[in-house]
Structure 1
């Protein structure tokens, strides 16, 4: 593809000194998945089109995505004709600028039905709260990040129900994501080990957890923040909405991953503690140390990232526990595991994996969380125990009460107040 003055795409024009990838040159970049075309619209009105490489999406539900260079947004249209916007990632600006709210999947379902068929939300207080959250999300009042847990937990649904839920989630999240808790886990450990060893902290550990970075929700090997090729990065930004939406509303039901081994192991630990004759202090110390023993691989990955020897840290669980208490996410997650391991009545199930990992991460890095009752109640107790401000709620009604208390408003409401 070549622009009108024959400057190759991906290079800079030294005569005009205008950055090549700039709104001064481009108006729109368009990916048309149905016509298998990639089109560039220049600011002077000229257009350049070329064939689109075959997509790797198994069941792409996005017909067209348009990157608006002036607004720095991606506008996508589904094969059914529905439109959803996404803010585009930029390495320069990473500040979300408004409160972030992490929602458990059941609360996302309430929001979706409040948009599609309000009659399905029987609790009128929850319906009113859902409609307020929707208004805040659509008018730049809040950020509603999606996580890989959300993408996975929509998979058992199918047909129109899955489409409407997935579309609502894509529309209301607007491209915002929660970085994979597995990545956050290793990043926190790496920062902790670097501080302990007085060595430079890896830059990756400083990345925002609530972000627009493409595929940050995944623990795969795609790291957009490391891409130094502008063309490659922008193409990734342009295709990210189609990846997210297609994963959310893929018409083929997907099976959830098998977490039975994880459930079995945690049940065994709970049963072991129930049979041991220990003092409360001894049980607590054992449970704290066990968290490290059960997750030694994460410690090794973090040590490799920092460039230090993990073996001596693994041998001193007491020192690690002390360091752990200063980490935002792991201090909460480890306390949650400890609480359940020491509860002889705890009943482990596969959904606990997502609830514990993701709600703990949301609690640590988002301004507010609407959780499911069991995990949410324990998170509230842990925050109080740790002397931290409570930001976790069990219903949308409670969440909106807190938002109103804190003066969270839409952009239009803020503008109206400024005009007074």
Structure 2
């Protein structure tokens, strides 16, 4: 049921759970602190909500307080494509319990795809995009925000003659997306992309091989920053080329940037600067094993830590991102445990 006065959509699931999704408009923007939770912390939130014995009393109290803050409209807990990928692997009650909690307490708020963030940051860096991204653009109620391609933008201007007004069509798109978002998360059938898993596996293996090469090659160790910079840039070379082309750069301008300014420029960009530093730190440590899940963890946590107010992440990635602080633009406060994050969350909500 859609409630125009509050611009919310109420959805009742087969389980009896009632969800209230915020619909918003083009003018809706973030007006509260954004707290991004890694999937393992959403699991703890779900354990609290179902009264599981697998959660300690202390953590249950923290989860209770976080739920209170969300329900009071004092913080935003967005979901992301990383959450969907992780939950989509599950089935049965394990899928249902966590997915329902995710959609219930995210209330329709999403973090846009890191690939869209990366493209925008590069366009701004090269001068093809005038404005830099801000929190309200990265965390949104807009339809299809989870996907790498901006489907909402692609559909603009395609309204057939005699169709609804733009305002009504926009409302219809938002309601439809909210329903689709819920259905996608709570779908009981597990879904795993074999192609995606293979790509992530190759990505992780390439970095682990580089780290081993650096450890065993004195010359590579002597030029470690240069080695990791080139590897970082190669990871999104197509986006870099497209941004330079959009900005109208000549081949010579691009060559000079690549050789002289790429290092200093990249570190000034919120998400990409973090990605660059995290790659450097991890390649410096050949004992750190790479796994295919690291692709999602790296992209999404670099994005969240660049634009959210508070991030409660998994242990290893949070440690690396904390070490990168001071070298990159200011971003989120980082925590590895909900208990440690709660005072910062409450302080942010109070302001």
After TM superposition, the score normalised by the length of structure 1 is 0.75
1:83 corresponds to 2:18: yes
State the Cα distance separating 1:403 from its structure 2 match. 2.3
Counterpart mapping for 1:71-220 below 5 A: 71-94=6-29, 96-121=30-55, 123-194=56-127, 201=129, 208-220=137-149
Helix, strand or coil: the match of 2:9? strand
Deviations 1:172-219 (A, max 9, x none): 00111101001000100000100xxxxx62579567101111111111
CA distance in 2, matches of 1:314, 1:133: 49
Cα distance change, pair 289–159 in 1 and its aligned pair in 2 (3 A): same
Answer 1 or 2: higher relative contact order, Cα 8 Å, separation at least 6.
2
CA distance in 1, matches of 2:74, 2:343: 15
CA distance in 2, matches of 1:398, 1:309: 50
- Given that 1:296 and 1:314 are in contact with CA atoms closer than 8 Å, whether structure 2 keeps it comes out as no
Cα distance change, pair 99–314 in 1 and its aligned pair in 2 (3 A): farther
**Root-mean-square deviation over aligned CA pairs:** 2.4
Q: Which range is displaced more, 343-352 or 249-258?
A: 249-258
**Larger-gyration structure (1/2):** 1
Name the structure 2 match of 1:344.
Answer: 286
Structure 1 or 2: larger helix share?
Answer: 2
State the Cα distance separating 1:325 from its structure 2 match. 1.6
Deviations 1:313-340 (A, max 9, x none): 2562431221112111111111001111
Deviations 1:239-259 (A, max 9, x none): 112221222111111114312
Name the structure 1 match of 2:225.
Answer: 284
State the Cα distance separating 1:303 from its structure 2 match. 3.0
CA distance in 2, matches of 1:309, 1:81: 60
Helix, strand or coil: the match of 2:121? helix
In the alignment, structure 2 segments of 5+ residues that lack a partner are: 158-165
Counterpart mapping for 1:6-405 below 5 A: 66-94=1-29, 96-121=30-55, 123-194=56-127, 201=129, 208-224=137-153, 227=156, 229-256=166-193, 257-258=196-197, 259-278=200-219, 282-309=223-250, 312-313=253-254, 316-386=258-328, 388=330, 391-404=333-346
In the alignment, structure 1 segments of 5+ residues that lack a partner are: 1-65, 195-199, 415-420
CA distance in 2, matches of 1:274, 1:134: 46
Deviations 1:108-163 (A, max 9, x none): 00011111124221x22222111111111111010011101101100121112211
- Given that 1:333 and 1:356 are in contact with CA atoms closer than 8 Å, whether structure 2 keeps it comes out as yes
The count of aligned residue pairs is 337
Q: Which range is displaced more, 217-226 or 363-372?
A: 217-226
CA distance in 2, matches of 1:347, 1:367: 29
Cα distance change, pair 304–385 in 1 and its aligned pair in 2 (3 A): closer
Cα distance change, pair 224–135 in 1 and its aligned pair in 2 (3 A): farther
- Given that 1:380 and 1:390 are in contact with CA atoms closer than 8 Å, whether structure 2 keeps it comes out as no
Runs of 4 or more consecutive aligned structure 1 residues displaced over 6 Å after TM superposition: none
